[in-house]
Structure 1
Amino acid sequence: MRKMTPSSGEAWIGYTLKITQHRLRQRLEAELAGTGVSAAQNAVLLAIGDNPQISNAALARAAFVTAQSMQGMLVTLEREGFILRTPHPEHGRIIMTELTEKGKAAAEAGAMAAETVERQMLAKLTDKEARLLGELLQRCAHSLEATEK
């Protein structure tokens, strides 16, 4: 069996997926440029908007960063006025995080930017193909997740 490499010209799906992910991230960063937040920060704002009680660990997973990086990102988002963090009234160790008006506006703009980029990415696929692609990628992700345990 011949070894498959990115330069072999064969359809190496993992490599093609990484190229697509990289280009998707570049386009999203370009679309977000006017919002004042990065793609990772946008993911955090959207996650907080969906669930103000979300944990820092869940935020880190949503943004694909480490817990340590998430702490720094939250400090930056708070300093720049996108979020407000306050101690929980009953549990002193729990910090509540909510979006400010600036954060809500950035999250809304970020969601629109993400939709724009996704539409661009899927423009040459039919609706049926796009749904199938999503389903297949989910199955691939689940297969890899199962091997982690």
Structure 2
Amino acid sequence: MSYLVFRLERRIRACLDDALARHGVTTTEYMALSELRLRDAPSSADLARIAFVTPQAMNLVIRDLEQRGLIRRDPHPGGGRALRARLTPKGLSTVRRCDHSLDAIEAVMFAEIDHQARTALAETLTLCARALRPDTRP
């Protein structure tokens, strides 16, 4: 079973990488942009955990996204050296275009699987992920 999950993950990742590259972002950058859309100014460490990269690697991703105008960083209201990252309009537009491409990948992947089976699969995969790492999100 683990081998099947691994094979699926690798195929999904290849499709994601190709689709996202057409929009000028990597999978890690997309994960960061998506999280910034969902949450109000998560920390770099939070983004790193979500994207499965080191904090140092995420700092480079954030710097690159900022240089490309996809995010902006503002001083944290609590003061100190911390900066809050937020999506720019260009970043939001980019992540939305990426979403459409990823929806198309899922449509192909699930074309022959009915809604009930999809729901059961999502629930099962969530349980498996929690069993292996109960302290993190699936």
What is the TM-score normalised by the length of structure 1? 0.84
Which aligned pairs between 1:15-94 and structure 2 lie closer than 5 A?
15-94=3-82
What residue number does 2:122 align with? 134
2:83 is matched with which residue? 95
3-state DSSP of counterpart to 1:35: coil
Match of 1:8 in 2: none
For 1:18 and 1:90, the matched residues in 2 are separated by 43
Matches for 1:97-136 after TM superposition, within 5 Å: 97-136=85-124
Q: Note the alpha carbon deviations across 1:23-69, whole angstroms, 9 max, x for none.
A: 10111112222211111111110111111321111111221211111
Q: Secondary structure at the match of 1:42?
A: helix
| Consecutive unaligned residues in structure 2, runs of 5 or more | none
**Identical aligned pairs, as a percentage?**
32
TM-score w.r.t. length of structure 2: 0.90
Give structure 1 stretches of 5+ with no counterpart.
1-12
- In 2, the alpha carbon distance for the partners of 1:87 and 1:58 equals 17
Counterpart residue identity of residue 84, structure 2: M
Measured in 2, the distance between the counterparts of 1:70 and 1:47 equals 13
Aligned length: 136
